[in-house]
């Protein structure tokens, strides 16, 4: 299971006692393990699952347009991520399996005045497998302190699509950039064989995210990583740009370092725009890699 080691920017919070329940106490340490493998017919099955609150898993869904794919929608019985929460997840897709992992609804990071919350995710795609890790948006409430680390290991001829969509407040309440600190790092490979690393670190009291050259007038931020080192990267990038560039907002498509794949990054004014653009990019990437589009947005 992945471990939680605080980023240096969060070390000052780590010693703060949480009045409700301290980090590590029951209900504060969420754990999720998912493992997918193919059966004798080539169908992907969920062969191992373990969930500890606030994670909950009810099995697989079979509505993916790819005939051999399996989907898990991760649920949460809580109202969101609270101060002192430490979440750890591992998703393992074994050789030739095709799996999609999503979430039931947006992840709400609640307001905090003690400590912080963190999430560590380890994704593994074995040889000739494919993983879609496309959760719903993350919403940062006022005074939220949230650290997120995601590591992806991709074997030969495997592919993965990973997305992140960040909403910096409850926009309907005119709450925007009122969180205290947000850190997100996405790393592909290992420390000894690193393909690329992408980091977002926001501290609104130190640097105004709405300043020119950062988010400017936009309020929703999204990224889709298509990791496919053996593919025609330039053709994939051209197709992605063609299908997302016409939507409103700002969008960029670029090849990833070390020919690892393609990244789509966008800024929009509303979450609905961002979700549409992310879905268009995801659908295009899946058609390129798997010859089938993205599944319908069904969570039951």
Determine how many CB atoms are found less than 10 A away from the CB of residue 265: 16
Say what the pLDDT of residue 298 is: 61
Sign of the CA dihedral 45, 49, 54, 57?
Answer: positive
Per-residue pLDDT at 97 exceeds 70: yes
Across the range 100-107, mean pLDDT stands at 93
Say what the pLDDT of residue 191 is: 64
Say what the pLDDT of residue 173 is: 85
Q: Kind of pairing, strands 145-154 and 117-125?
A: parallel
Determine how many CB atoms are found less than 10 A away from the CB of residue 297: 10
Confidence class for position 230, pLDDT limits 50, 70, 90: confident
Say what the pLDDT of residue 215 is: 82
Say what the pLDDT of residue 77 is: 86
pLDDT in tens, 119-157: 999 999 999 999 999 999 999 999 999 999 999 999 989
> Where along the chain do its domains lie?
8-209
Nearest-CA neighbor of 193 among 148, 258, 254? 258
Burial class (CB in 10 A: 0-12, 13-18, 19+), 192: exposed
Per-residue pLDDT at 1 exceeds 60: no
Say what the pLDDT of residue 15 is: 74
DSSP state, residue 174: T
Say what the pLDDT of residue 21 is: 67
Say what the pLDDT of residue 248 is: 65
pLDDT in tens, 277-299: 999 999 999 999 999 999 887 65
Say what the pLDDT of residue 297 is: 73
Strand partners, 231: none
| Average pLDDT in the chain | 90
pLDDT in tens, 165-208: 999 999 888 888 999 999 999 999 866 789 999 999 999 998 88
Per-residue pLDDT at 270 exceeds 90: no
Measure the CA–CA gap between 236 and 224, rounded to whole angstroms. 13
Say what the pLDDT of residue 26 is: 61
Determine how many CB atoms are found less than 10 A away from the CB of residue 207: 10
Confidence class for position 110, pLDDT limits 50, 70, 90: very high
Per-residue pLDDT at 246 exceeds 60: no
Say what the pLDDT of residue 255 is: 94
Say what the pLDDT of residue 13 is: 83
């Amino acid at each position: 299971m992945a471990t939680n080691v605080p980023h240096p920017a969060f070390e000052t919070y780590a010693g703060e006692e949480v009045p409700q329940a301290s980090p590590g106490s029951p209900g504060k340490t969420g754990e999720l393990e998912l493992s997918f493998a193919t059966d004798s017919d080539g169908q992907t099955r969920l062969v191992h699952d373990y969930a500890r609150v606030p994670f909950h898993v009810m099995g697989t869904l079979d509505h993916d347009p790819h005939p051999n794919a399996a989907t898990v929608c991760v649920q949460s019985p809580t109202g969101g991520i609270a101060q002192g929460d430490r979440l750890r997840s591992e998703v393992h897709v074994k050789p030739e399996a095709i799996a999609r992992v999503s979430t039931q609804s947006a992840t709400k990071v609640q307001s905090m005045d003690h400590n912080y919350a963190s999430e560590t995710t380890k994704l593994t795609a074995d040889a000739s497998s494919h993983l879609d890790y496309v959760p719903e948006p993350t919403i940062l409430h006022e005074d939220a302190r949230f650290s997120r680390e995601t590591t992806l290991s991709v074997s030969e001829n495997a592919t993965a699509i990973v997305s992140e969509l960040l909403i910096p407040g409850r926009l309907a309440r005119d709450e925007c950039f009122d969180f205290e600190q947000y850190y997100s790092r996405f790393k592909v490979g290992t420390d000894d064989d690193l393909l690329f690393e992408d980091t977002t670190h926001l501290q609104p009291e130190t640097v105004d995210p709405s300043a020119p050259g950062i988010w400017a007038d936009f309020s929703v931020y999204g990224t889709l990583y298509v990791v496919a080192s053996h593919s025609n990267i330039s053709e994939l990038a051209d197709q992605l740009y063609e299908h997302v560039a016409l939507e409103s907002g700002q969008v960029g498509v670029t090849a990833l370092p070390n020919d690892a794949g393609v990244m789509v990054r966008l800024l929009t004014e509303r979450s609905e725009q961002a979700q549409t653009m992310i879905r268009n990019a995801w659908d295009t990437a899946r058609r390129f890699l798997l010859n089938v589009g993205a599944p319908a947005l069904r969570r039951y």
